[in-house]
Each structure stands twice: as C-alpha cells, then as structure tokens.
A and B are shown apart, each in its own frame.
Chain A
C-alpha cells in the first residue's frame, strides 16, 4: 500500500517534468513524420517506416528511463524530502520499490502513447490495416526499459546522477552487443573466452530484446516467437528483481 502510494506520487511528479514531456512530444512528432522519410526508398518504405518508428520509441524510451531512473532517489536526498518520508512508518525497501514502480509507470505511459501513435501512422500508411504484430516490438521495448530502469535505480542508491547516467548508458551499450559477446564465448583465446562468458551471462543482455529484425522482415525465421517473447519477459522480470534486491541491500546500509 505504502509502496503504491510512493509510486503514484512519483508518477505524478514525473509527469510534471517538462523535459520528459518534451521528449515525448519530439518522439511522437518524429514517428508522425516517419512516412516522409519512408517514401524516399519506395520499395523498402514499409521496412524503413517500421524500423524508424521502433527506433524512435526505443531512443525516447531509453532517455526517459535513464532520466527518470537516475534522479528519483538522489533528488529526494538532495531536497531532503527523504527525511520526511522515512520518518514515517515507511520501510526503506518500500521506498525503493515505490520509486522504481513510479518510474516504471512513467515509462509505461510514455511508451504506450508513442506505441499508439506508431500504430496509427502504420494504419494510415499501410492501407488502413492494423499491424498488431508491431505491438510485440513496443512490448519488448517496455521490458527492456524496465530492466534498464531497475539498473538505474540500483546505481542511484550509491552513485551521483552524472555517474549513474554514464554507467547505465555504458552497460546498455555493452548489453546490446550480446551477439558479439555470445560469439566470443567460443573464442580460442582462454582470457577472451572467460571475459566474454562473464559479460554475456552476468551483465544484463539488452540485445535479447531486439526483435525488430523479425518484425520488419516477416521472412526472417524464428522457431517460436511467443516462447522467445515470454522468455525475454521472464528474463527482464527476474533480472529486475535481482537489481532491486541489490538496490534494497545497498540503500538499507546507506547513510541519508
């Protein structure tokens, strides 16, 4: 109950932030303008439109998640409002979870808004037909952002926002190169192999969620798409849980 109250307050606070709203407006505008780029490549216009739409949602979602995630806890400490909250019957773990859920709801609202505009643009551009399969891409982006948000919250329990920004962004990039680290796990050099195995299995693999290739090119074969999506959602949920437990453990010992 307390957790949800904190989450609600965080969501309201986030939705009042102009920077996030500007990001949303710019992203929606770019998605709406997508068809003006697609026509330049007539026979691949659908692929260009779909890939650019998903890309805009991902980039905007990335910025919104990181900006939200790196600030929620440090801002409370900086403004000293955390004293007021923690002086009440609120456990520290409830505070961390509430902040995480508030940020997650914010990302959900933003991604949903962009997803609706994206599907609308596709509807008008592709002969008044819905492309429900593209929702899979939007859903995967949301769970990717959930994992990123959990990581940002974890870092925010001990790092400053600037440090947190670079750490989260760097790990997101490394995690996106999961196909590279995966291929390096069979490298002949033992040192490379060990390092790649460590990176591949212990760092969050954000590249797992990149299903755009399948959605943009229906001819790409994937044995069982639903299993793939479900496994990714499970991966995101479990990894986020691990990061949140770590965040709770660190924040519990932190002097505020």
Chain B
C-alpha cells in the first residue's frame, strides 16, 4: 500500500470520527431518555450480579434479583427483600411491582410481636412510592398505590384524594403493555371513597354519577361483560347508598327500592312517612337529584358521647410492668366503634428525608393501635416490652393520645353522628379540626380526643398515670404543628 493511499485512509478515519462524534451527540439525549431514573448500582451488588450491569444488562439483572426477592418473600424473610428492592429499582426504575411491593412491606409488614405496624417506616414507604411515581409518570399504578396507602394506612384523606386524582389522569396498560388505555375505573371508585372519607359526599356523588354515565352505555354495548357489570353495580350501589344516607340520617330510614324510581323517607319510630317527605329521584332524566323537601338533620340534639378513662375517680391507664400498658375506657357510640391509641415521643417527627432511605431513627418511639368498643367499653393490654427496637422509650416524656374520629368510623356509627361528627357532643374532650378546604365543601371535623403527657418513669411503672397528666387539646395541636414534618406536606392538597 502506497503512502498516498495510507494518508488518504488516515484522512477518511479523521472524517469518519467527526461523523461518529456528531452521531454520539445526537444519541446522548435519547439515551438519557431511555435510562431516566436508572442508577449504576454496582456498589452493594453481590459478585454473581455485578457483571450484568457492566455488560449493559441492567434489566436482566433486575429481573433475576426480583426472582430471588420472590423466594425470600415466600420464606417470610421480609428483611432480606428490602435491599433487593433498592437494587432493582436502581437498576430498572420501571418495574412498578417492585416499588409497590417494597412499599407494602415497609408500611405493613414491619410489625411488633402483636402485629402493630412500625409507623416509623411509613415515611420511607411513601418516599419509595414517590420515587417510583416520578420515574413512571405516564402510568397510574404507583400514584394509585400512594392513594391507597394514604387512604388505608395513614388515613390522610386529603393526600389520598390527591393521589387518586393524579392516578385517574394517567394511563393504564393495553393488553400489549403500551400505556394507551385510560386508567381503570376502580381508580375513580377510590377517588370517590376518599372524598366520602372527608365528608364531601356531594363531590363523591358527582364522581359516582360521572362513572355511571360512562359504564351504562358500555354495559349496554357489552351486556355479558361481567367485570364491567360488577363495576357498574358497585357504582350504582354506592351512589344510592350515599343518597340514602344523606336523607335518612340520624332519625329516619328510607324504604329503599333500587329498582324503583323514587325513595321515600319514613319515620324510624312510627314507621309513617315523614311529614317532610323527601324523595330522591333515581330517574336518569333527573340525574338522581333530590326532589321534595329534605328534612332538617337531627343534629339539633346531638348524641351525648360518654368518653373517658376514669372510673371511681381513678385513671384506668396502668403500667403494671415496665413498657406494658393496661388501658381501659368507656365510650357509648355503639359496639363496633373504635378508639385510637397513640403513644409517641414528645418530640416525635416523621422522617423529613427528601429521598428514599431505609435508615430510620431507631431511637424514636411511636405506637399506634385501634381498640374496638364492646358494651360501651374498650380495653387492651399493650405489651411493648418484647420489642425494644421498636419501642426504645429513650425520651424522658411522651404523649398518649386517645381519640375517636367520625371520618374513619364504620358507616352504621357514622349514620348516628354524621360524617363529620355533627351529631355528637362531648364538651370535655371534643375537638374541632378545622376544614382546610371549606371552598370545596369540606366541613370541620368534630373528633373526641384526650391527651396525656406522661414521663418515662410512668411508662416504666414507677409512677402512676393520673388526670393531672391530661393536657388541653389546643396545646397538643400547637406542639404537633411545630413539629410537622416537611414530608407530610409533600403532596398538594386536594383540589389544587
């Protein structure tokens, strides 16, 4: 080969390299797009898995790791799953189930000896889901899970509404896996339920009506689609039930006929039609609107709620052994209502980490339980001595909060006292939680709450708990407001 040919080839190489660099600059933004959210998780991967990511096989390694996590799950070894969840979501941030399952483990499966959740992991669970949602903004799945967790576990219905609403704007997957379908209807079912839990029944009914408007024509077109029929039936049932509860509440019940076009209120005592008869039209042409005169609600004479932890002048909160709380109380809202018990450090604050981490402050203590009422009494012996990692009691002072929230109680109890406790009174312990969105029809919520400020000595059983330890509700709220974690306000409030 002559020198001129060699020089020509060298020139060609130089030109081609310019083209290569140009092509690479065109490819880089697209590669960033494909690998959005991925991290190089070489650190922490065991030897058998480390080669895969180095060869560009992140997804395959993630899949293999998740198979292994599944094995741990079946063995009940939940602790081993979490590091794998972290690795998999770094390697492949589009495996939705990994985020969802990991967050479920964190929120539900870390418990004490008596199956009480370790609430300290809940912020971590939320952060994991938020990270997953940020990496998968086209699909509804993780936003729905955030809504579910806020609805079911955290009982923050503002946030659950926000996430269900977000999920309802996202896409579901087609049979081919493409995110082209609208989010499934059950997402909006849960949106309506989250509104009901805020006492926003009218807003929830609007959601049920819009759902029925979609499913009825679809059902007519596919009458043998039993999945659709089931959804349609539950939408109709939930709307009718809400309407019935709105108009029969407190003193009346409704002679309810689903197939009829109207419902009629009757006096619960006499069985006679109410003098202020009200009808709810189920005629589609009238769009289920109330006709006639709705009766005034029977909140004029609210139910007097007896709630206390004192018997014969003595406080019925005992610590017979260190870290073992024997607690009893009375409550007359009916069997099936539940009293929430929460014991936490005086400076307890949710983790404010901006990103997901498994590391929680092991020195923190928070215990939550829910005690059912039987025969107007509630009681439980709560043994926290077996789980020192969860209940370290390393602080000198604690708050013991006993409460009843009408928003989270069973419907048949709600039907006596209203969605927001309007028909309930207890001058001593009732406490109004102001509506954060009155413009959305959200009402103030009347809860019953009794708060003790107790010391470590009392928890260790060396000093009794007495009524002198009770603090005013407004003082407790003020202290909690000062300690509000930024993470709890991460989601936008409902309606915004």
A109 to chain B, nearest CB (A): 22
Q: Is the CB of B58 within 8 A of A41?
A: no
Question: Known contacts A213-B94, A242-B20, A249-B6; is A58 also within 8 Å of B34 by CB?
Answer: no
Q: Which one of B20, B52, B139, B179 contacts A235 once the chains associate, using CB atoms below 8 Å?
A: B20
Q: Is the CB of B97 within 8 A of A179?
A: no
B14 to chain A, nearest CB (A): 10
Q: Does A44 contact B (CB under 8 A)?
A: yes
CA A198 – CA B70 in complex, angstroms?
A: 42
Q: Is the CB of B136 within 8 A of A219?
A: yes
CA A182 – CA B28 in complex, angstroms?
A: 8
B97 to chain A, nearest CB (A): 5
Q: Does A89 contact B (CB under 8 A)?
A: no
Q: Does B361 contact A (CB under 8 A)?
A: no
Q: Is the CB of B30 within 8 A of A228?
A: yes
B71 to chain A, nearest CB (A): 7
CA A178 – CA B41 in complex, angstroms?
A: 15
**B60 / chain A contacts, CB cutoff of 8 Å:** 51-52, 54-55, 212
A237 to chain B, nearest CB (A): 10
Q: Which one of A43, A48, A221, A241 contacts B138 once the chains associate, using CB atoms below 8 Å?
A: A221
Binds B, one of A10-18, A115-123, A159-167, A169-177: A169-177
CA A38 – CA B428 in complex, angstroms?
A: 60
**B179 / chain A contacts, CB cutoff of 8 Å:** 218-219
Q: Which size bracket describes the interface of A in this complex? A: 35 or more
CA A172 – CA B12 in complex, angstroms?
A: 24
Q: Does A40 contact B (CB under 8 A)?
A: yes
Which chain B residues numbered 422 to 474 have a C-beta less than 8 Å away from chain A? none
Q: Does A245 contact B (CB under 8 A)?
A: yes
Q: Is the CB of B28 within 8 A of A221?
A: no
Q: Is the CB of B38 within 8 A of A179?
A: yes
Q: Does B359 contact A (CB under 8 A)?
A: no
Q: Which one of B16, B38, B177 contacts A46 once the chains associate, using CB atoms below 8 Å?
A: B177
Binds B, one of A20-28, A72-80, A97-105, A201-209: A201-209
Q: Is the CB of B66 within 8 A of A48?
A: yes
Q: Is the CB of B21 within 8 A of A201?
A: yes
Q: Does B59 contact A (CB under 8 A)?
A: yes
Question: Nearest B residue to A205 by beta-carbon distance?
Answer: B24
A232 to chain B, nearest CB (A): 7
Q: Does A113 contact B (CB under 8 A)?
A: no
Q: Is the CB of A40 within 8 A of B27?
A: no
**B368 / chain A contacts, CB cutoff of 8 Å:** none
Question: Known contacts A176-B56, A207-B56, A213-B35; is A235 also within 8 Å of B27 by CB?
Answer: yes
CA A180 – CA B40 in complex, angstroms?
A: 8
Q: Does B360 contact A (CB under 8 A)?
A: no
Q: Does A62 contact B (CB under 8 A)?
A: yes
CA A41 – CA B72 in complex, angstroms?
A: 12
**A213 / chain B contacts, CB cutoff of 8 Å:** 34-35, 38, 58-59, 92, 94
**A249 / chain B contacts, CB cutoff of 8 Å:** 1, 6, 9-10
Which chain A residues numbered 206 to 256 have a C-beta less than 8 Å away from chain B? 206-214, 216-224, 227-228, 231-232, 234-235, 238-239, 241-242, 245-246, 248-249, 252
**B6 / chain A contacts, CB cutoff of 8 Å:** 249, 252
A51 to chain B, nearest CB (A): 4
CA A129 – CA B175 in complex, angstroms?
A: 11
**A210 / chain B contacts, CB cutoff of 8 Å:** 34, 56, 58
Q: Is the CB of A52 within 8 A of B71?
A: no
Q: Does B115 contact A (CB under 8 A)?
A: no
CA A249 – CA B13 in complex, angstroms?
A: 11
**B177 / chain A contacts, CB cutoff of 8 Å:** 46, 217-219
Q: Does A5 contact B (CB under 8 A)?
A: no
Q: Is the CB of A241 within 8 A of B16?
A: yes
Q: Is the CB of A58 within 8 A of B59?
A: no
Question: Known contacts A201-B24, A249-B6; is A208 also within 8 Å of B31 by CB?
Answer: yes
Question: Known contacts A41-B67, A52-B60; is A228 also within 8 Å of B27 by CB?
Answer: yes
**A205 / chain B contacts, CB cutoff of 8 Å:** 24, 27
Q: Does A47 contact B (CB under 8 A)?
A: yes
CA A107 – CA B249 in complex, angstroms?
A: 76
Q: Is the CB of A222 within 8 A of B63?
A: no
Q: Which one of A48, A59, A219 contacts B67 once the chains associate, using CB atoms below 8 Å?
A: A48
Q: Is the CB of A231 within 8 A of B17?
A: no
> Can you list 12 contacts pairing A with B, beta carbon distance less than 8 Å?
A47-B63, A51-B59, A55-B52, A58-B57, A202-B17, A212-B58, A217-B94, A219-B179, A222-B34, A231-B27, A235-B27, A246-B13
